[in-house]
Structure 1
Amino acid sequence: MLNIADTLYDWCREDRPFALATVVQVTGSAPLPPGTALAVDADGTAVGSVSGGCVEGAVYELCQQVLADGGTPARARFGYSDDDAFAAGLTCGGEIDVLVQRVHRADRSTLAEALDAVVQGRPAAVAQVVDGPEELLGRVLSLLGDGSAYDGTLGGEREDRAVATQAQALLRAGRTGRFEVGGDTDTCPERLSVLVHTHAPRPRMLIFGAIDFAAALSQAGRFLGYQVTVCDARPVFATPARFPHADEVIVDWPHRYLADTEVDARTAICVLTHDAKFDIPLLRLALNLPVGYVGAMGSRRTHHQRLDALREVGVTKEELTRLRSPIGLDLGAHTSEETALSIAAEIVAHTHHGTGLPLSLGTGPIHHPAPSALSSAARQAA
């Protein structure tokens, strides 16, 4: 639902009744991930999407029906239909489960603060019951800041605490995810399936080396939604004027800056200096940090020399397997912009476990399932 946070915030603030259709599960290939939503207000105004256009008409009608029926939630599954080409279905061949609910006044109040935080760019999450007892279906719990504070209720204090604990881990990881909770006396008697929508600060892209490739990569990184930092020890090259697309330009020794800056599992580190006096201490530190991606620029000869130097300073074999070097995918790139595209493409493929191969050579679904959000988030919380 956070894909339409600005409109939903306005509707909640105006106390406007509306129905919310949320993709709660995806099977096979589908155009949009779980958590994506479409909303329809009492006047028939629609915002958002659940399928990129394939089944919007059917979902719109279902939203109007839920609003007219007094708010009983409805579930619908949409997939490809061979028998009826005009039936509402997904031409991509996958299936999506959609929960349609009327967002009642109490939930609008609970949502408003979290949606406001999202609109303002602050971290927030919304936990939504997508399967369970009918009286709890669609109920929401909003988490603010680091997730330690929450608003709303899913039926009782034990349920709220159990959901908030797991949702907090997802918020830290910046991932939307679904989990099961309850069905026992320690958490709650009713078993609930909860979908957590998260809005975390932008992931960081740390680019070391104030060169032309860095200027192009900073633009690509910003386009992908990263908070981009360019760092170089040479003040004559590390200037904001040379890197207008970077959020910040830092003059410092790369390894010293990295040691003092905040990183997480979504951080991408791109080492473009290909100068051993910068690279070795920087990579020695980077490969021991819990970041998502570490890549280094250079020829294959430079790469092998770099590996030998890293082994000499104690970098382990396991740590070296994390290094993407030479950096980027083989796109036949020549210009700075093409090279930046190859690096950005590798980061995207690495983040989402893509192969980097042409889709025309594959035979399976083109949409990869999201990484196990709860397990990765739980590892970070541990």
Structure 2
Amino acid sequence: MSVVSEVKTVRPRQLVLEMPEYHPPLAGREALRLDFNENTAAPSPRVMERLRQITAEGLTKYPEREPVERIVAAHFALRSDQVLLTNGVDEAIHLMCCAFLDEGDEALICTPTFFMYDVNITMMTRGLVKVQADETLSFPFERFLAAITERTKLIIVASPNNPTGAVVSRERLLAIANAAPHAVLMVDEAYHHFGGESVMGDLAATPNVIVARTFSKAYGLANLRIGMLAGSAELLKYLRKVSSPYNVNGVALDCLSAAISDETYLAWYVEQVRVGRERMMAGLDELGVGYFPSAANFVLMKIGPKHKELVAAMRRHGVLLRDRSTDPGCDGYVRITIGVEDHVTRGLEALKASLDEIGWKRVSGSAGQPVSEGVREFE
């Protein structure tokens, strides 16, 4: 008589089973990349030169993060113990949740916003509190303040926000931090270079604020995966504790110091985006397409029921867009990235042709006017 042992399946924590998953539609991106808010051209030439200087022996060594953190801290007029380099802002969000959230704690966000907040918060607690923006998609400041409770331990606000491009004023961000001294406010400034105010200068006076920055967008280092958190040394020591000592690879660290040293390149690229963004919004006005006035390197357009058809048509014309219709309150919206001059021109030309091709007609609230006039705080 044979005995068959019972095979047991190992299961993860219940919150891992319940948390949402994020699967970015990255396959087949050989066309013009106006879908993921990347730098559409190239990083600084200094970065490419630094890459050519990396030796074979250099690749055999574990990366040293601290020397580059000192360089980055000096660049932002901070002390080295106030900066933690991360594997992109994605890891920064993950570390914030690991360090500051227990099961049962509440974390507060405003939707629509970056979906990775949902993923990382719900991995730690069921206490995710979402304050939904109204149909204007502008930041609901009063309702957001009212949602803060004694259980609130982490608050995340993106400014400029993704996918809307809207900013939350520095004054309002500091009011949120002061209303919740028992919580940590992470201000995600991934798109800061393209518009809006920063609270980086308020870290000393507001010790419960942490700023996240990325080097993927304006600096063009998305493939190297490098970002940063800046805040009080007291809070940063907890984040450093939950971080791997080798979380950022050595190639990224080598290239980062070269990237931040080239302020001429950064100013050029940011100006390309600023001018291109105005061109895009003016072009949408001419086409009768509604949009959300943006302070970032993208514009959110209101297309309506034919949003999927437009994305498909644009791909046929060699341009990639991002359909944001599944975001809360964004049904019928599509996002287009703003890059260098030629890419904006190609994007507008493809958009005109694609709208004609799909037989698009103006939808309610999109007769050549911004979807919301209440978000021009950044101007």
Judge same fold: TM > 0.5, yes or no.
no
TM normalised by structure 1 equals: 0.26
TM normalised by structure 2 equals: 0.27
Bigger Rg, structure 1 or 2: 1
Give the structure, 1 or 2, with the largest relative contact order (CA under 8 Å, sep 6 or more).
2
| Structure with more of its chain in helix, by fraction | 2
